[in-house]
Amino acid sequence: MLLRNRLLSLQFSSLLSSSSSYPKTQPSTLSFQNPLSSSAPKHPSHHVSASRTTASSSISDAARFVRTFLFVPPGVDPEEVTEDMVLAGSNIVAGPYAGDAKIKEVEFVKSSGRAKDCPRDNRPEFAILGRSNVGKSSLINALVRKNEVALTSKKPGKTQLINHFLVNKSWYIVDLPGYGFAKASEAARMDWSSFTKGYFLNRDTLVGVLLLVDASVPPQKIDLDCANWLGRNNIPLTFVFTKCDKMKVGKGKRPDENIRNFQQLIAENYPQHPPWIMTSSVTGLGRDELLLHMSQLRNYWDQ
């Protein structure tokens, strides 16, 4: 059986097969890079891009499918990807750089009001970004398995600074201000946007952005706009779908339907799907898989 058929039998296979075709040319509005391409300039000879295929005419249909729908990390030959290499609830392939995923200790380091005030110790970091009520703090707490690491509140928009948390004394989780908080003043929203973008454009130690998307609601334009901006600026990202435990309420759609619709919109602009994963801070869904994904990006960056 072809790999394509095996992959289509995976959990949430509809998310991998929701689009039978994809753009023949990469649009100018988006330029997705492998989450290692812009974050590891010090290793140009090791540059690997999941979004750039070779011109070889010998590539198999299975490998072409893998390169289109899956995130293939460094050290993995698309021709050799098998079903058991794909992390559950995601399109992410686990490669040889995956490992050291356990979080043993975490400590809050500092809050910064400007990008230039952030720690400058050259440790790799992952930024967590999303709408103000998407569950950023809850995800951070779930990842580190502590209840008070990130500032949580029933009022969206509580985080208004760039917060660095040091993990295992070797890498950072960065909690960024949420966007789209309607009750914040226009001036405050502009300030948050300005220094957050400054962080993205000037942070050489940024391994990747975890862009959180609420799976319990239909696709939101503001999330697509954020993905567009990151793509145009070659900022590496992974889509992290949150609240995947929430079932259908009233006339609303289930998380899998919302994710599939979001994926279809993304496919209109991305020749290859960026990495994505389903999570729930309530049930722990996707926690270990997300940490494993982060570990392989971090280990490659830090080699």
DSSP string, 53-110: ----TT--HHHHHHHHHSB--TT--GGG--GGGBPTTBSBBP-TT--------EEEEE
- Distance from first CA to last CA of the chain, Å, rounded? 37
Overall pTM surpassing 0.85 (yes/no): no
What is the spatial distance between Cα 49 and Cα 34, in angstroms, rounded to a whole number?
5
**Whole-number pLDDT of residue 184:** 55
pLDDT-derived band at 250 (thresholds 50, 70, 90) equals low
Q: Where are the domains of the chain?
A: 101-302
Would you say residue 234 has pLDDT above 50? yes
Residue 233 has pLDDT above 80, yes or no: yes
Q: How do residues 150-205 score in pLDDT, each as one tens digit?
A: 654 445 445 678 999 999 999 999 999 888 755 555 555 545 577 788 899 999 99
Structure tokens at 3: 């790999």
- Residue carrying structure tokens 């949430």: 12
Which tens digit of pLDDT belongs to each residue from 10-29? 433 433 333 333 332 222 22
94 near 85, Cβ under 8 Å?
A: yes
d(C-alpha 111, C-alpha 226), whole Å: 23
Q: Using the 8-state DSSP alphabet, how is residue 157 labeled?
A: T
Q: How much is the mean pLDDT over the chain?
A: 77
Residue 113 predicted with pLDDT over 90? no
Q: pLDDT grade, residue 279 (50/70/90)?
A: very high
For 210, the 3-state DSSP assignment is strand
Domain 101-302 has CATH 3.40.50.970: no
Lowest model confidence (mean pLDDT) among 44-58, 59-73, 100-114: 44-58
pLDDT at 282: 92
CA–CA distance, 1 with 6 (Å, rounded to integer):
7
Average the pLDDT over each of 41-50, 90-99, 248-257 and give the range with the smallest value: 41-50
Q: Which of 62-66, 115-119, 155-159, 171-175 has the lowest mean pLDDT?
A: 155-159
pLDDT at 70 over 60: yes
How many angstroms separate the Cα of 132 from the Cα of each of 171, 181, 214, 245, 303?
A: 24, 6, 11, 19, 34
Concatenating the DSSP letter of every residue in 183-201 gives TS-HHHHHHHHHHHHHHHH
pLDDT tens for 125-165 read: 999 999 888 999 899 999 998 776 765 444 544 567 899 99
d(CA 236, CA 186): 28
Nearest to 19 by CA among 65, 85, 73: 65
The pLDDT of residue 79 is above 80:
yes
> DSSP alpha helices (H): ranges in the chain?
3-7, 13-17, 61-69, 136-144, 186-202, 221-232, 255-267, 287-301
Q: How far apart (Å, rounded) are the C-alpha atoms in residues 303 and 301?
A: 6
pLDDT grade for 242, boundaries at 50, 70 and 90: very high
pLDDT in the model for residue 252? 63
Residue-level pLDDT at 171: 97
pLDDT of residue 81: 93
Q: CA 253 to CA 217: how far, in whole Å?
A: 7
